[in-house]
Each structure stands twice: as structure tokens, then as C-alpha cells.
Structure 1
Amino acid sequence: MKIPATPERPVVDKAFLLELGLEREQGDGCRQVFVDDFIAGLPRRMDRLRLALSTADPAGALDAARALKVASQMVGAERLAGLMLDLEEELRGPAYEAETIRLPKLAVAFHAPVNRCAMRTIDHLNGQYIGALG
């Protein structure tokens, strides 16, 4: 099982954060709407993933991982997208155990890293680090 860790990826793409900061200054909120929608939907997406993994639903888990990956990519959340890419690879890989055993193990392995990453992503997207980028 691949250890879910992509520390080389930034939590959020710096260029995205800089553009978001500029957009806020100029009063154009389109990108901010994406960010707000992403943050609002993140708990639901994570619950969907957790449920699919813990109930050994491989199709549901893959669908939930893809949805979270794509949503993360749309807001520049590179590390979270990378974790979901790692999970997708695990889900597509050869199954050496029954799905009823393998998927709950993946739920355990990915739960803490994904939750930590999601919280850091929210902090970054809420602008706590925009000033530190310069």
C-alpha cells in the first residue's frame, strides 16, 4: 500500500493564491466563489469518500476520490489533489485482499492525512498565507 504523502506538492498553488489576492483587491469575485463553494462542499465530499471506503464500495470510492481530486484541482489545492491521485492509484491497483478488507484499510491509511491536508487547504484558501507569499 502506498503511503499517502505528497509533501513536495504545495498545499495550494502560489500562483492561484496570488491571483485570488489580486482578484479580491480588484473586486472581481469569480475565483472567490469557486473557493467558497469548494470549502462549503469539502465536508460532504470527504464524508462521501470515507463512507465509500469504510463500506467497501470500490466504485463509490473511486468516484468520490475523483470528485475530490477534480474539485481540488479547480481551486489550486495541489496537495489534496495529489492525495486523491495516490488513492485512485491504490483503488485501481491489484487487489491482494478482498475489497471488504482492503478498502477499510485504505480508509484508515488515508483518513488522517486527508483530514490534515483539507484543514491546511482551507486555511490557505481563506487567505491566511497570502501575505507570506511575497
Structure 2
Amino acid sequence: MSASDDAPRPLVDQSVLDRLLEELEEDEGYCRVFVDNFIECLPERIDRLRLALTTGDLDGSVDAVLSLKTSSQMVGAERLAGLALDLEGAIRTDARTSDAAVVLPRLAATFLRPINLCSELTTHRLQAQCSLGASR
């Protein structure tokens, strides 16, 4: 791990939102819909992850954590994506080499609270940044 890996990830990387806006041909309406859709789907993604982890569903856990990670990366939710990446690594190493029915609930106890807290902060930050972007 390098020294830069020790630094906390930004909650939201504005450059990702700026790139998204550019790719959507500077139509802030489309960008806002994209971010709103992420925010709207976030609780469901986390619930799917919670259910898969707590029931020891290895395939469901991998699918749910990948969904959370990828969607977070797409809107620049860097800290949330980082938590999902860390959980994905733990699932792939710990649950694949041990009893998933034991390991996954333990990972749920470790990761779900920070993911929930980060998702709330991320939602507020995205809403604020999109509001600021609309007034540019």
C-alpha cells in the first residue's frame, strides 16, 4: 500500500460529475437525472447487499457489492466505492476459502454500518453538488 492509499478518499469526486456532464453534452438535466437515479437506487442496492451477506449467499453478495461499487464509481462516490471495493476483496478472499455461511454475516457486521453512514453522507453531498452545478 502506498502513502497515497492511506489518505481518505474524497466523499464525491467532482471531476467525475464534470466528465459525466461533458459526456452528456453539457445537459445538466440528464446529469441530474443520472445522479438522482443513483440516489434513488442506493437504499435498494444496500438492502440487497445486506440480505445476501446476512444469509450467507456468496453469489448474491458478489453481485450486490459489484453493483454498489460500479454505480458509486459512475457518479464519483469515491469513498463509498472504496468501501465496496474493500468488501469485495474480503468476500473474494475470505468467503471463497472458508464457510460463506459463517464469513459473510461477519463481513456484514464489519462493513454494513460504515457503508450505510457513507451512503447517507454521499447522498447529501451529491445533492448539494448537483444543486451547485445547476447554478453555474
- Normalising by structure 1, we get a TM-score of 0.80
Question: Equivalences for 1:82-97 in 2 at 5 Å?
Answer: 82-95=82-95, 97=98
The answer (yes or no) to whether the contact 2:70–2:81 under 8 Å persists in 1 is: yes
- Answering whether residue 125 of structure 2 is matched by residue 124 of structure 1, we say yes
Correspondence for 1:70: 70
**Distance in 2 (alpha carbons) for counterparts of 1:51 and 1:7:** 31
The answer (yes or no) to whether the contact 1:35–1:125 under 8 Å persists in 2 is: yes
Where 2:56 maps in the other structure, the secondary structure is coil
**Distance in 2 (alpha carbons) for counterparts of 1:57 and 1:7:** 32
Correspondence for 1:3: none
Tell me how large the CA RMSD over aligned residues is. Answer: 2.5
Where 1:73 maps in the other structure, the secondary structure is helix
Q: Tell me the number of residue pairs that the alignment of Structure 1 and Structure 2 aligns.
A: 123
Correspondence for 2:108: 107
RCO greater where, 1 or 2, for CA within 8 Å and sep 6 or more? Answer: 1
Structure 1 gaps of 5+ residues are 1-5
Question: Equivalences for 1:1-134 in 2 at 5 Å?
Answer: 8-16=8-16, 28-95=28-95, 97-127=98-128
Where 2:125 maps in the other structure, the secondary structure is helix
